[in-house]
């Protein structure tokens, strides 16, 4: 696409995101060859109408020189004449030949004024709690508004505004995608030791009363197909859903959840798209229920050497000299090179409620894996779940995982820091036997 056409799209992104009806355009854009079927499906999976409009405009900038005038034709053919007129007013005279005449004698509409994104962005981030929430009281006073039940471990649990209901049997589905052997032409190394991670997590979530399904060595389209199949299941009789992905990863641009994971064919799926499959819009039977994603993959290519602290604050570290990473250099595809979201995306982005994404490493950094013992993150997560699931909520346990992994060192030098994007609304306690 020519640079002047990109400038028109960027200058009118607020109007496009606010008013564009992307679903009416898909057939025309596909027929005219602007997008492929896979690209259309990617856009459709990005979320709400506004999310789809935003992704469509972003992807449109990466297409050929005819993409802009063909996009205008689709707008006119679908009756979206106001937007077509706005874009025409921003184009140089004579540079476009629309399929039908459109009135252009109107003032140029500028993007709507918005408040500073920095303050809003900071407020949004501050909403996510980072400290463990207080446990529900084990000696509650009777209340007609709250229902209490006793677990086998003797811990009183309440299904109320503070705690998710987690007593279905089975509790829910757990999908594990374990990519170990990558095609040679991808340049991605095989992930030795990942089978150990997969076996540990399969045993652990079966013990937590989940129905576990393991898929191995999936290509990008196969990953999407499995996630789509999971989203189409009827989850109405279950209380939770878990997705675990073990693969190589990379850093891509995003407006919600960072990072991406690779299929064995060298094509990646953004974590943001992975979570969209199970959100309230695409999977109604999981509305209001916790959806948990555990990502053992690199968030980028940087290696963290840490910083010096007092010896009293550091426990003995572990980690071998032959530890490997799941890092891939930052992608050079259109996904990672596209321009950042405009202000409207940050200001109006809805909260993806009841979703928690736990990453094995901080965005932008590598994740370490021992070929004989498995990854630091999964090994620690498995042990913490075994030791503490009967007494602690999920967020508290993930904080314990963060602390223990942070004490490790690879090759006597490199560190790793797991973390989570937490949009859960209540405490979550797993079932334990």
Strands (E) across 22-93 are located at: none
Which stretch of DSSP H or E encloses residue 375?
A: strand 374-375
Dihedrals phi, psi of 205, to nearest 5 degrees? -80, -20
Task: State how far the Cα of 209 lies from the Cα of 193, in Å rounded to an integer.
Answer: 25
Task: State how far the Cα of 265 lies from the Cα of 279, in Å rounded to an integer.
Answer: 27
Residues 6+ apart with CB under 8 A from 260: 249, 250, 251, 252, 268, 269, 270, 271, 331, 335
> Which residue's entry shows tokens 């930052």?
330
CB 267 within 8 A of CB 220: yes
Task: State how far the Cα of 43 lies from the Cα of 57, in Å rounded to an integer.
Answer: 10
Active-site annotation holds for 298:
yes
What count of Cα atoms within 13 Å lies in the side-chain half-sphere of residue 393? 22
Which of 74, 171, 283, 298 is an active site residue? 298
Task: State how far the Cα of 297 lies from the Cα of 324, in Å rounded to an integer.
Answer: 11
Residues 6+ apart with CB under 8 A from 426: 161, 162, 163, 164
Q: What is the 3-state secondary structure (H, E, C) of 253-299?
A: CCCCCCCEEECCCCCEEEHHHHHHCCCCCCCHHHCCCCEEEEEECCC
User: In the beta sheet, which residues pair with residue 216?
Assistant: 178
Helix (H, G, I), strand (E, B) or coil at 374: strand
Residues 6+ apart with CB under 8 A from 123: none
Which of 173, 235, 248, 273 is an active site residue? 248
Length of the chain as a residue count: 433
Positions marked active-site: 248, 298
């Amino acid at each position: 696409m020519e640079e002047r056409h990109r400038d028109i799209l960027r200058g009118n992104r607020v109007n496009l995101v606010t008013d564009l009806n992307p679903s009416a355009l898909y057939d025309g854009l596909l027929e005219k060859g602007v997008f492929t079927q896979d690209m259309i499906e990617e856009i459709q999976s990005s979320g709400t109408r506004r999310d789809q409009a935003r992704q469509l405009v972003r992807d449109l900038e990466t297409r050929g020189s005819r993409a802009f005038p063909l996009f205008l034709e689709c707008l006119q053919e679908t009756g979206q004449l106001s937007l077509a007129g706005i874009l025409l007013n921003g184009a140089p005279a004579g540079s476009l030949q629309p399929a039908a005449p459109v009135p252009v004698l109107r003032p140029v509409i500028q993007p709507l004024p918005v408040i500073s994104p920095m303050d809003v962005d900071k407020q949004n981030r501050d909403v996510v709690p980072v400290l463990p929430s207080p446990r529900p009281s084990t000696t509650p006073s009777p209340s007609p508004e709250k229902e209490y039940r006793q677990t086998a471990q003797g811990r009183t649990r309440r299904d109320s505004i503070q705690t998710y209901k987690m007593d279905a049997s089975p509790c829910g589905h757990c999908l594990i995608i374990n990519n170990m052997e990558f095609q040679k032409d991808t340049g991605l190394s095989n992930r030795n030791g990942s089978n150990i991670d997969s076996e540990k997590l399969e045993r652990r979530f079966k013990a937590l009363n989940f129905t576990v399904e393991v898929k191995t060595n999936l290509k990008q389209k196969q990953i999407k197909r499995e996630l789509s199949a999971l989203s189409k299941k009827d989850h109405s009789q279950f209380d939770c859903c878990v997705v675990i992905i073990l693969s190589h990863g990379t850093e891509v641009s995003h407006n919600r959840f960072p990072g991406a994971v690779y299929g064995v064919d060298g094509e990646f799926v953004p974590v943001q798209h992975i979570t969209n499959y199970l959100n309230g819009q695409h999977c109604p039977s999981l509305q209001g229920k916790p959806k948990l994603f555990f990502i053992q993959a690199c968030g980028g290519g940087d290696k963290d050497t840490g910083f010096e602290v007092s010896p009293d604050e550091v426990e003995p570290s572990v980690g071998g000299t032959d530890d490997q990473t799941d890092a891939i250099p930052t992608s050079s595809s259109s996904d990672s090179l596209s321009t950042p979201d405009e202000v409207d995306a940050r200001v109006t982005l809805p909260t993806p409620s009841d979703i928690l994404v736990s990453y094995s490493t901080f965005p932008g950094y590598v994740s370490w894996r021992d070929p004989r013992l498995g990854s630091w993150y999964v090994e620690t997560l498995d042990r913490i779940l075994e030791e503490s699931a009967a007494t602690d909520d999920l967020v508290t346990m993930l904080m314990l995982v963060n602390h223990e992994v942070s004490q490790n060192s690879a090759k006597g030098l490199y560190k790793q820091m797991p973390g989570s994007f937490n949009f859960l609304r209540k405490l979550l306690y797993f079932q334990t036997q």
